[in-house]
Chains A and B, each alone.
Chain A
């Protein structure tokens, strides 16, 4: 029945779009149509994928890819661009959820594991990927004729870029599988910290690369920008967290709407202020969970409003997978996917062993580091802009790696959660009662 519905919706979509000869309709009509279409289609695709024991997330991505400009073209480029307004909110909501999950009391026993895995797996894989890029440089047209030092510099940058993980996928899968346990918590902790580590590493290696290529740059300015971005994001996040906590405590209604609004503000304003919306939301979530008693209530409010955002977010991600690019860079991209996977899994095993982590963490946590998404793409595009002579080719390669990981990695992590026995564990925990507003909270009279 889901398939029939998808087909019916596709037919209606095609009919609606055929009305206008040039594909353009009245202002705003295409976006509303695309939003509704992609939300429903991706939702049903997710159900189909769930029936074949794949993550619903992969279904959302696959649906977006199929109906997007690369395949069926039911969504054109303009519609996909317009739908990106959802992305900012989604990223912030996901990060808020992730931060809200980071209860220090529960994570303290895992801190050592997280530190070592981040160091060995993430940093180690960056180096491994850099070596792999350098080793395969003769097969990469944009690097084949580069001098040694230049090739080394580019290899370092690409290595860091391709090592980036995706908190979005990890959080979404954890929610979908209702997973809880040392594996899922360790993975969550690692990807959150790895986000920071990759940003720092990227800043470092790209500065080195720029100096190698003779591109002008100011070290102090770089440090200043980095400090503004990271410290400023965390500070802003703390303030936002306080606001959210006060709202949840003092006002009885409309919390979900307030949360969504705040995430929208974080995404829009934060980006323009050179903050990282993910860090802002993360900091806010961590503060609420660890310094207030509103963590469970926030979780309850987010849960209700997050599903539509997630569905559209991942579907749009799928729609942005350029299959034509993938066809061009498929083989080297596949090679780097394998190298990356090996590096993360082996590095996790080593790091977990050093930290004396539980056996399940050693065996399965590495699979949770495989998913990849927006951060890698953002860094690749930035690299392309910094080095326009060859940056586009390098970005295309990264895009291919990300696309493959987007399609394959969620299924692998799902398998890891199932095999580790953590899937469904959160549903078995008794649901804490959301804290009622205190003090002068305006509780509205009953009808």
Chain B
């Protein structure tokens, strides 16, 4: 369905991510030096200076410009809020220490107060305090209900200092004033910088697709790392650094919808690949093979992460009953359970067609386990609060998740099956996924799960539109994913050392679990996992769904130890790719490893009855 996109080389990826960087580079002109408040965002008190005359301004109420003919006062950056002023919903709740504990708190990445989108000037009484301790809800099992549901001290510290958490926890506030225009004296340098940035982008795009670059990547054994898109995470990290100041907090706030959309897109694409007819002839023991492949790493990661999180927290009764601890461990386990789809590329060239097809189906079914895990977590560990409607038990939310996905899937089917040109198909697909992702996010559900269900329905309903949709999906999947990775990199809080410690534990536990799973599969089923490659090559790689799961979790649960979980998974994915590259034998004769690779659809050879 999604053929090998030879055109989706890093040229596109670099181009896309760097395009974003260059596109947003001039906003560095407005980025605040570390330590200074983002006063530019609080421009309600000052009439913003409008764009120049004449403009072909947006149809809507334009940001208005002084035309060249009128002498407008230069926009004055408003005074920053006084030190110590409350910072809106993101401010730490009463009683929580505002300053970090010296040993555990992460260093401030972007010093300064929160962006003004979190209600400048003070908490908005109309907006729920999303930083209140999580309440498991009246339907939680009795052992979870506790008078004091506050998170452990280490978690509170994290909540107090993690700006990403605070920003993501803030509900959408009122309109944010646009950055002020650039003063005349600074215009030529900004213009030059912009042009140079575009030239650099052009050069990188040219080089990125050059054959010599591929040779260099091969020599450095980083082809797979590059193809998996991980440099774009690094790009996002760099762009968010205070010294670079490109993807600033205000810009990231504008890009958060893109993050949600990206999650929905990943889930939709995964679901659209789930053609159930392909699973009609599953050989015996496949379920067992999938079970071993997912359960072993899940359990090993869950166990190891639990121990580590316990060591990091205060040993009180509330800790052992705290759902946050369990939730984070489950998220890690779910993310670690799956194998990347690209793993099939690392299988040796002499693998027979049947084996390869079975292997691919097992990998695909593993994704189902990941989706189910995420659905469970999103349903049973929901935020509670008086301003959130629809107070329902966790099981009801599971049904709601599936129901919403199914409803949107049916609507999407009705929408997408109608005849449409290529451009119209793109419009309909974009709109459907954005709507599904937005709906899910608005209900505090995971966009991945809802869009996955919608995608599965769409893939399995009859209709002649599938080829058209598959083409549109393939065309857009990689650019959207790489852009998503840049934003992920920008919101990634990598400075917390606990995340890196958890990474080591996560990788070790996951590889152990994968090894166990591979050997148990080979031993107790009729599928020899190790027939054509080392287990590390065909079981270890982590795919985009794993990263998407933790990012989804971060959006759903901005508090708690999720930021360090994100570090563990993202860092773990990168480390795993490197390990795979180092330890894998030369497998496939083709060198373009790509996430979206599908083995060529050869006609199935005649299968003797005894083999079938």
Contact = CB atoms under 8 A, between A and B. Distances in A.
A129 B211 CA distance: 62
A240 to B, nearest CB: 7
A271 B442 contact: no
Contacts of A206: 67, 69-70
B19 A239 contact: no
Nearest to B259: A28
B133 interface: no
Contacts of B390: 19
Nearest to B213: A442
B66 A382 contact: yes
B199 A243 contact: yes
Contact of B71 (A22, A35, A218, A243): A218
B433 A36 contact: yes
A151 interface: no
Interface string A259-300: 001101100110111111111000000000000000000000
B54 A195 contact: yes
B432 interface: yes
Contact of B442 (A5, A20, A168): A20
Interface stretch (B406-414, B497-505, B527-535): B406-414
Interface in B390-404: 390
A258 B205 contact: yes
Given A202-B53, A274-B187, A258 B430 contact: no
Contacts of A221: 71
Interface in B19-37: 19-20, 22-24, 26-27, 29
Contact of A247 (B194, B205, B387): B205
A119 interface: no
Contacts of B388: 19-21
Contacts of B47: 385
A43 B428 contact: yes
B276 interface: no
A69 to B, nearest CB: 12
B128 to A, nearest CB: 8
A276 B54 contact: yes
Nearest to B202: A247
B565 to A, nearest CB: 18
B407 A12 contact: yes
Contacts of B604: none
B378 to A, nearest CB: 12
A313 B208 CA distance: 33
Contact of B61 (A91, A95, A377): A377
Interface size class of A (residues with CB under 8 A): 35 or more
B427 A39 contact: yes
Interface in B209-252: 209-211
Interface residues of B, number: 119
Nearest to A88: B58
A84 to B, nearest CB: 6
A251 B430 contact: no
Interface in B439-474: 439, 441-444
B127 A22 contact: yes
Contacts of B386: 21
B53 A203 contact: yes
A316 interface: yes
Given A37-B435, A222-B68, A78 B387 contact: no
Contacts of B345: none
A115 interface: no
Interface string B113-128: 0000100000000111
A346 to B, nearest CB: 25
Contacts of A305: 426
A207 B427 contact: no
Given A28-B259, A34-B438, A271-B63, A8 B57 contact: no
Interface in A213-230: 216-218, 221-230
Given A40-B431, A203-B53, A226 B69 contact: yes
A444 B9 contact: yes
Interface in B166-194: 167-175, 179-182, 184, 187, 190-191, 194
A264 B23 contact: yes
B438 A304 contact: no
B64 interface: yes
B461 to A, nearest CB: 16
A379 B422 contact: no
Q: Taking chain A's interface residues, is the majority helix, strand, or loop, or is none over half, making it mixed?
A: helix
A381 B415 contact: no
A261 B296 CA distance: 44
Contact of B68 (A216, A226, A269, A444): A226
Given A251-B202, A271-B181, A29 B260 contact: yes
A38 B517 CA distance: 47
B256 interface: yes
Contacts of B181: 271-274
Contact of B179 (A228, A272, A385): A272
A82 B438 CA distance: 14
Contacts of A43: 424, 427-428, 431
A268 B23 contact: yes
Contacts of A354: none
A253 interface: yes
Nearest to B197: A265
Interface string A199-213: 100111011001000
Given A16-B443, A36-B437, A262-B198, A273 B190 contact: yes
A236 to B, nearest CB: 7
Contacts of B423: 303-304, 306-307
Contacts of A207: 69-70
A168 B59 CA distance: 9
Given A26-B168, A29-B172, A251-B205, 10 more contacts: A12-B407, A19-B444, A195-B54, A206-B67, A225-B52, A279-B56, A308-B431, A375-B55, A378-B55, A444-B209
Interface of A: 1, 5, 8-9, 12, 16-22, 24-37, 39-40, 43, 77-78, 80-82, 84-85, 87-88, 90-91, 95, 167-168, 195-196, 198-199, 202-204, 206-207, 210, 216-218, 221-230, 236, 239-240, 243, 246-247, 250-254, 257-258, 261-262, 264-265, 268-269, 271-279, 303-308, 311, 313-314, 316-317, 319-320, 373-375, 377-379, 381-382, 385-386, 406, 442, 444-447
29 contacts: A5-B411, A12-B408, A19-B390, A21-B388, A24-B171, A26-B172, A26-B444, A32-B260, A33-B442, A37-B438, A39-B431, A77-B175, A199-B68, A203-B53, A204-B69, A218-B71, A228-B187, A229-B54, A243-B195, A265-B22, A268-B24, A271-B181, A272-B182, A273-B187, A303-B423, A381-B50, A381-B61, A381-B62, A447-B6
Interface of B: 3-9, 11-12, 15-16, 19-20, 22-24, 26-27, 29, 47, 50-72, 117, 126-128, 167-175, 179-182, 184, 187, 190-191, 194-195, 198-199, 201-202, 205-206, 209-211, 253-261, 264, 386-390, 407-408, 411, 414-415, 418, 422-424, 426-428, 430-439, 441-444, 479, 555, 592
Closest 10 CB pairs of A and B: A33-B438, A36-B435, A203-B69, A28-B256, A278-B56, A36-B434, A87-B58, A199-B54, A317-B59, A29-B441
